[in-house]
Amino acid sequence: MKKRTIKIMLLAAVVSLGFFSCKRSSSNNTSRATGWRIDGKDGGFTANTKFKDQETAPGLVFVEGGTFTMGKTQDDPMHDWNNTPNQQHVQSFYMDETEVTNLMYTEYLYWTKSVFPPEDENYKNIYTGVLPDTLVWRDRLGFNETMTTNYLRHPGYADYPVVGVNWIQAVQFCQWRTDRVNESVLEREGYIAKGVKTDSIDAGSTFSTEAYLTRPKETYAGKIDDYQGRIAEKSKKKKKKGEDDEDGEEEESTNVYAKRTTGIILPEYRLPTEAEWEYAAKGLDGLREYNNVRGRKKYPWKGEFTRSGNRKRRGDQLANFKQGKGDYGGIAGWSDDGADITARVKTYPPNDHGLYDMAGNVAEWVADVYRPIVDDEANDFNYYRGNYYTKNKINAEGTVEIVEAGSMKYDTLANGRIMARNLPGQLAQVDVDEKETYLRTNFDKSDNRNYRDGDVASSRYFDLFNEDEDSESEAKRMYNAPKHQVGSDSTGMVRQYDKSNSRTTLIDDNVRVYKGGSWKDRAYWIDPAQRRAFPEYMATSYIGFRCAMSRVGSKSQSNKRPRK
């Protein structure tokens, strides 16, 4: 009898404990600061208390951040001291599973041509500015015209990595992709009606993520209230409940807009930083030994060889690269690597992160401005050289200015290509000024590409208190690159070549890093630590790119479990 009574008492205790714990768990709708409700049912403060985790955007895979040895940990036969080993830490992020393909890029071309028809005088330079340079396949002593005319658009090459894209075009593709994905998310979540993203868009009413978050009522050229989704309709019904105003007419409804606090707007697609790319390429296998950084990894896969030791794939090449002089794929047959130029993405096994072709196929643009050194003394967390800070431009009415067709800006690149700096519907940007930099210690100007890199301000020749321009400073600069100029006159485009014999380097602020070997490179270059540079306005047949996205919130996607 006593045992039964004890069991009943224990059961009651467990039930009551569960009741109180459940009741307490509901307190996530109560502010820990004020004790007020934060669900907004009373018309007060609202917040997304049910947010769980960042959504993995289309095409991306998760890469958990951590520390690693960045730089060459294996051979350095060139002795160029270009990327000496240093320990860095990167935050968790997402990266494209594969390189951006021809199919993905031609979707971008189709959208651009549809929205900004090149036959319209106002937009003729937008479409031509985003077109890849298909002439990169030509060679003075090679027959490659088939790739020149077919590689970009032929369905036989649809799943091959896009090439002929310069760094600026890659950045603009990332911006376009951000807006299209977030537009699709808003449609899926019911903030805009289905079909709006394709049926109601023209050059004057495109969607921009940042413009939507800043001035949502101006989205779609001020027509967004006409494109209300199910959330707005649900909110309208909830407010009305069949009631009329004093005139007997239904009160005009307003749309419901998603905000950053809603949690559904994804961060921007962008190019990965050099540190992120190298960390992702090296993968996890071979990077650690228990809780220590091991480093010393030569390829994205385990081992010191480029052929597989796996029983099923033994002898197969693990990447697409140039195997020797005149040997781009091996002898035809079983020993061939399956590609002479680029290869279809996912042809070779992925690395530990699930990323394909992080060695070979095409080299890839990263975000960084090139300098020979990685200044780990200045920063060893999310290292990146290339920060150029801007802010939203405020118009005469005191509101954020949105770009219109008549206010678009174009840039003429050093090679004469004309590209749109911004598009209608986007937010106009200007450099940060003293309002943002006054008495700050972490940055003091917009353009930080030259920070601690050997320019005059970083050198022993710099006189902080000399306000006069030093005529000798130009000659004392470490990076004295050629200065070609492009202009125009009554006859058209004029290109002026810098023929000076005093230039000492090709490095300048418009030269970007590219990583990884390609179908045209020897095995030496498929080491993830290798780094090379190329002008951001030029393109080649062996450089492509993939996108990345920052991770917001927790570092990992799952709870850590101790190893047994």
**39 occurs within a structural domain:** no
Distance CA 186, CA 197 (A): 10
109: number of Cβ within 10 Å: 17
Write the pLDDT tens digit of every residue in 425-462.
999 999 999 999 999 999 999 999 989 886 666 655 55
Distance CA 170, CA 514 (A): 12
Residue 560's pLDDT is 67
Percent pLDDT > 70 in the chain is 81
Q: Which residues contact 455 (CB under 8 A, 6 or more apart)?
A: 477, 478, 479
Tell me which residue of 214, 113, 82, 118 sits closest to 507, measured CA to CA: 82
The yes-or-no verdict on residue 252 having pLDDT over 70 is no
The phi, psi pair for 4, rounded to 5°, reads: -65, -40
Strands, E assignment, 226-333: 269-270, 288-289, 292-293
Confidence class for position 247, pLDDT limits 50, 70, 90 = very low
Confidence class for position 361, pLDDT limits 50, 70, 90 = very high
Residue 14's pLDDT is 55
Write the pLDDT tens digit of every residue in 23-38.
444 457 888 888 888 8
Q: What is the mean pLDDT of residues 182-191?
A: 95
**9 occurs within a structural domain:** no
Residue 458 DSSP SS3: helix
Containing structural domain, residue 243:
60-440+516-550
Helix (H) or strand (E) holding 223: none
Residue 407's pLDDT is 87
543: β partners: 363
Tell me whether strands 269-270 and 429-431 are parallel, antiparallel or unpaired.
unpaired
Residue 466's pLDDT is 60
Q: Are 126 and 118 in contact (CB under 8 A)?
A: yes
492: β partners: 489
Structure tokens at 469: 């321009």
Distance CA 62, CA 82 (A): 29
Distance CA 173, CA 109 (A): 10
Q: pTM for this structure?
A: 0.88
**52 occurs within a structural domain:** no
Write the pLDDT tens digit of every residue in 196-236.
888 867 888 899 999 999 999 999 988 888 888 888 777 76
- Type of residue at 281: A
Residue 458's pLDDT is 62
Residue 250's pLDDT is 44
Structure tokens at 21: 């714990």
Residue 327 DSSP SS3: strand
Residue 137 DSSP SS3: helix
The yes-or-no verdict on residue 489 having pLDDT over 80 is no
Residue 539's pLDDT is 97
Residue 461's pLDDT is 58
Q: What is the mean pLDDT of residues 325-341?
A: 85
Residue 225's pLDDT is 87
Residue 141's pLDDT is 95
Highest-confidence segment of 65-74, 161-170, 491-500: 161-170
Q: 327 vs 311, which has greater pLDDT?
A: 327
Residue 148's pLDDT is 96
Distance CA 213, CA 183 (A): 12
Residue 25's pLDDT is 43
Residue 73's pLDDT is 72
Q: Domain count of the chain?
A: 1
Q: Tell me, what CATH number does 372's domain have?
A: 3.90.1580.10
The yes-or-no verdict on residue 317 having pLDDT over 90 is no
Residue 497 DSSP SS3: coil
Q: Are 308 and 335 in contact (CB under 8 A)?
A: no
Q: 85 vs 292, which has greater pLDDT?
A: 85
Strands, E assignment, 142-289: 269-270, 288-289
Inter-axis angle of helices 167-189 and 102-115, nearest 10? 80
Query: What 8-state DSSP symbol labels residue 240?
Result: H
285: number of Cβ within 10 Å: 14
- Type of residue at 517: G
- Type of residue at 167: W
**327 occurs within a structural domain:** yes
Q: What is the mean pLDDT of residues 536-564?
A: 88
**388 occurs within a structural domain:** yes
Write the pLDDT tens digit of every residue in 98-133.
999 999 999 999 999 999 999 998 898 999 999 999
Name residue, tokens 């951040």.
65
Q: Which residues contact 554 (CB under 8 A, 6 or more apart)?
A: 53
143: number of Cβ within 10 Å: 8
Residue 1's pLDDT is 53
Residue 158's pLDDT is 97
Q: Are 95 and 548 in contact (CB under 8 A)?
A: yes
**16 occurs within a structural domain:** no
Q: DSSP string of 278-322?
A: HHHHH-STTTEETTEE-----SSSSSS-SB--STTTTT-BSSB--
Name residue, tokens 């206010």.
407
Residue 400's pLDDT is 94
89: β partners: 67, 381
Q: What is the mean pLDDT of residues 355-378?
A: 94
What is the end-to-end Cα distance of the chain in Å, rounded? 44
- In angstroms, the Cα distances linking 423 to 172, 204, 547 are 10, 9, 20
Highest-confidence segment of 376-385, 471-480, 494-503: 376-385
**48 occurs within a structural domain:** no
**562 occurs within a structural domain:** no
Distance CA 99, CA 241 (A): 51
